[in-house]
């Protein structure tokens, strides 16, 4: 029964040169180190893209502001969007998936450790390539700098005629390269979940985290590939003189929209499913109850995966599609609210009657439930085509998708940081600083994104670098910008907490939350081999079974 971990002879080894440590991290194929690299990489880009958002908002704090030029403003919103989606949220989610999936399913590594390292470095080089445009974007014509075509880069803005120099090329190649990385990681996650589970862990006994990430990986395979194809076409247009999106040669600008959003909408679910995965692990542990409706949760996840592939053109109602297409995409968009609603009710039912502990991870997840609901409701509003005709391309849209991505996804990501920080570092975070982070951030979030809906309803379009006074937008924009400073302050508290706790935090022990999944059974931080002996499980909560041999879960499942 006993499986003491193998003693690590660290005390006998003298200190090694710094360059050895660097080499160890660069050449690593260990899923935990690659996970941490992903997370560190994402945090670095979070700082950069956050600064871009801050500058955007300072420019808009009052009418006729001239903090940055219109050209720089265009570059800022393009880089902010592209960075946040591809080089912050996706890497941070892949990082957690990489770190946690093998630990949760009782495996010693991912299915393909070297593919894992390759995928990470592709993503990292993609991010560096995007920012290299600041130096290299001038190109032969001395025009352009960072990309300024918007994060969905509609044709014909991306054609040689309108985008001279190399800024758009850097954008395209960055997404192409990081796309290969994402597909590689997704294939790795699928193979790991399907082929590396420890004995006894059938698909129906996997933690929900593994299930949701499996569906996420499937979506990456199906949705990021079209983006890759579209980027190849754009490269052909720009470098080989092709005509895919060249309207003067009979090409279509609208087909780029279709190709982009065939990727773009499932991408939202690629981002949100891992956030659901965090919530599905954190909420039961801090409610002291098993997840409510496990099989329904799995079913709803798969349903979301399928439906999300058929809703993309709700981003294009204002393009002018025919009535049949509009109707189809309205109905499918409404349909996806059903499985999402099921999930929200399941989390609520998990909390219902539970002995809720209001620790920082749980606070973030509770806020997520509330805010994700609001984000879903404004989503339904815009999913109705006639309503969207009025609000398309307005600040209402910006407020809606930031409510999803910040209020939903980022809150879960923060929850995950606090929840698994003890496992990853072996140290306990500071609960005081964590709560401070939560409260400052939630104030900033609601100041910014609640009030951002209103100028949208009053007709303020997105992506404008300034606006006229006296349209009723001034006060709202002022409040929105003030909120951003709160958020920035909260992020500083968060980073400070991470650093302080890493160096000064109390030892956490292997299982600080009295949790039930396998990652809490090994040391904190886990040794390179994860488990001295590969575990055997009989239920969805193997650690519950161990702690309560008189009343194990497998009797009831």
Partner 1 sequence: MSATSIPLAEGRMEWHLPYRGRVAMLSLITAEAAIFSIFVVAYLFYIGKSLTGPMPKDVLSVPVFYTICLLTSSLTIHLAANALRRGSVQSFGVLWFVTIALGAAFLYGTATEWHRLIYQKGFTITTNLFGTTYYSLVGLHGFHVVVGLVSLSVVMAFTLLGSVGSEHAERVDVLSLYWHFVDAVWVVVFTVVYVIGR
Of residues 174 through 203, those in contact with partner 1 by CB under 8 A are: 183, 186-188, 190-192, 194-197, 199-200
CB 103 within 8 A of CB 110: no
CA-closest candidate to residue 36, choices 85, 82, 87, 100 = 100
> Which range, of 64-72, 142-150, 297-305, 540-548, touches partner 1 by CB under 8 A?
540-548
Q: Is 538 in the site for partner 1 (CB under 8 A)?
A: yes
- Give the binding range for partner 1 (CB under 8 A) out of 36-44, 53-61, 69-77, 232-240: 232-240
State the minimum distance, in angstroms, from the CB of residue 424 to partner 1. Answer: 13
Residue 220 CB, shortest distance to partner 1, in Å, is 8
How far is residue 250's CA from residue 243's CA, in Å, rounded to a whole number? 8
Q: Who's near 422: CB < 8 A, 6+ residues apart?
A: 428, 429, 508, 509, 512, 513, 524
Q: Which stretch binds partner 1 (CB under 8 A): 125-133, 145-153, 217-225, 409-417?
A: 217-225
Segment interacting with partner 1, rule: CB under 8 A, options 130-138, 457-465, 489-497, 521-529: 521-529
How far apart are the C-alpha atoms of 287 and 260, rounded to whole Å?
40
Binder to partner 1 among 531, 540, 541, 544 (CB under 8 A)? 531
Work out how close the CB of 199 gets to partner 1 at its nearest, in angstroms, rounded to a whole number.
Answer: 4
Q: What are phi and psi of 427, to 5 degrees?
A: -115, 150
**Shorter beta-carbon distance to partner 1: residue 406 or 543:** 543
* Nearer residue to partner 1 within complex by CB, 343 or 423: 423
- 296: nearest Cα among 355, 367, 211, 356: 211
- The least distance separating partner 1 from the CB of residue 13, rounded to whole angstroms, comes to 14
244 touching partner 1, by CB under 8 A: yes
Single out the residue of 30, 445, 543, 553 in contact with partner 1 (rule: CB under 8 A).
Answer: 543
For the bound state, the minimum distance from the C-beta of residue 36 to partner 1, rounded and expressed in Å, comes to 17
Of the CA atoms within 13 Å of residue 92, those in its CB half-sphere come to 25
Q: Record the tokens describing residue 415, joined without a space.
A: 């929850």
The string of DSSP codes covering 222-264 is: HHHHHHHHHHHHHHHHHHH---TT-GGGT--HHHHHHHHHHHH
Work out how close the CB of 255 gets to partner 1 at its nearest, in angstroms, rounded to a whole number. Answer: 6
Nearest residue to 207 (alpha-carbon basis) of 298, 98, 92, 270: 298
Closer residue to partner 1, CB minimum distance, 56 or 183:
183
Q: 84 or 230, CB closer to partner 1?
A: 230
| Cβ neighbours for 293, distance < 8 A, ≥ 6 positions apart | 342, 346, 349
508 is an interface residue for partner 1 by CB under 8 A: yes
Task: Judge contact between 459 and 471, C-beta under 8 A.
Answer: yes
| Closer Cβ to partner 1, 112 or 345, answer by number | 112
Three-state SS at 461: strand
Q: Is 310 in the site for partner 1 (CB under 8 A)?
A: no
Q: Does 3 engage in binding with partner 1 (CB under 8 A)? A: yes
Say whether residue 221 binds partner 1 (CB under 8 A). yes
CA dihedral of 335, 336, 337, 341, whole degrees rounded to 10? 120
Applying the rule CB under 8 A, the residues between 421 and 460 that interact with partner 1 are 426
Total of chain residues touching partner 1, rule CB under 8 A: 71
Tell which positions 65-124 bind partner 1, by CB under 8 A. Answer: 111-112
Nearest distance from C-beta of residue 258 to partner 1, angstroms: 8
Three-state DSSP state, 556? coil
Residues from 248 through 277 that contact partner 1 (CB under 8 A)? 249-252, 255, 259, 262
Is residue 388 a contact point for partner 1 (CB under 8 A)?
A: no
Stretch that binds partner 1, among 14-22, 45-53, 218-226, 313-321 (CB under 8 A): 218-226
Q: Which of 421, 405, 408, 403 is nearest to 361 (CA)?
A: 421
């Amino acid at each position: 029964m006993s499986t003491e971990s193998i003693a690590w002879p660290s005390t006998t080894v003298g200190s090694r040169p710094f360059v050895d440590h660097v080499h160890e991290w660069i050449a690593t194929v260990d899923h935990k180190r690659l996970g941490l690299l992903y997370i560190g990489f994402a945090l670095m880009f979070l700082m950069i893209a956050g600064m871009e958002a801050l500058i955007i908002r300072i420019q808009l704090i009052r009418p006729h502001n001239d903090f940055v030029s219109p050209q720089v403003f265009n570059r800022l919103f393009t880089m902010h969007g592209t960075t946040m989606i591809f080089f912050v949220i996706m890497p941070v989610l892949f990082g957690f998936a990489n770190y946690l999936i093998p630990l949760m399913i009782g495996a010693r590594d991912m299915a393909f450790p070297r593919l894992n390292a390759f995928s990470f470095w592709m993503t990292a080089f993609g991010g560096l390539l995007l920012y290299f445009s600041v130096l290299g974007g001038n190109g032969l014509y001395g025009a352009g700098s960072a990309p300024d075509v918007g994060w969905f880069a509609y044709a014909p803005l991306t054609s040689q005629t309108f985008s001279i120099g190399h800024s758009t090329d850097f954008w395209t190649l960055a997404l192409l390269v990081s796309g290969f990385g994402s597909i590689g990681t997704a294939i790795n996650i699928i193979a790991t979940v399907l082929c590396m589970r420890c004995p006894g862990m059938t698909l129906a006994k996997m933690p929900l985290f593994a299930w949701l990430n499996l569906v996420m990986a499937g979506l990456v395979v199906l949705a990021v590939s079209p983006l890759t194809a579209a980027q190849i076409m754009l490269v052909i247009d720009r470098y080989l003189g092709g005509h895919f999106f060249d309207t003067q040669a009979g090409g279509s600008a609208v087909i780029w929209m279709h190709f982009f959003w065939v990727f773009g909408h499932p991408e939202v679910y690629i981002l949100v499913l891992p956030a659901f995965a965090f919530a599905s692990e954190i909420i039961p542990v801090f409610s002291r109850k098993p997840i409510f409706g496990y099989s329904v949760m799995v079913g709803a996840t798969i349903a979301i995966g399928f439906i999300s592939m058929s809703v993309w053109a709700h981003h294009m109602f204002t393009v002018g599609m025919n009535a049949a297409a509009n109707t189809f995409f309205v109905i499918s968009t409404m349909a996806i609210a059903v499985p999402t609603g099921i999930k929200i009710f399941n989390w609520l039912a998990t909390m219902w009657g539970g002995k809720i502990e209001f620790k920082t991870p749980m606070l973030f997840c509770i806020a997520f439930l509330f805010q994700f609901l609001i984000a879903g409701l404004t989503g339904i509003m815009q999913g109705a085509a006639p309503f969207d005709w009025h609000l398309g391309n307005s600040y209402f849209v910006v407020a809606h998708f930031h409510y999803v991505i910040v209020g939903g996804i980022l809150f879960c990501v923060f929850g995950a940081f606090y929840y698994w920080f003890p496992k990853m570092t072996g140290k306990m975070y500071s609960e005081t600083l964590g709560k401070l982070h939560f409260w400052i951030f939630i104030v900033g979030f609601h100041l910014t994104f609640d009030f951002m809906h209103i100028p949208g309803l009053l007709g303020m379009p997105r992506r404008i670098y300034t606006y006229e006074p006296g349209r009723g937008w001034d006060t709202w924009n002022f409040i929105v910008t003030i909120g951003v400073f709160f958020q920035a302050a909260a992020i500083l508290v968060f980073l400070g907490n991470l650093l302080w706790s890493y160096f000064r935090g109390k030892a956490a022990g292997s299982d600080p939350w009295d949790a039930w999944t396998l990652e809490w059974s090994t040391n904190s931080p886990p040794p390179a081999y994860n488990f001295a002996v590969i575990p055997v499980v009989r239920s969805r909560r193997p650690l519950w079974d161990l702690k309560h041999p008189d009343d194990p879960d497998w009797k009831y499942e």
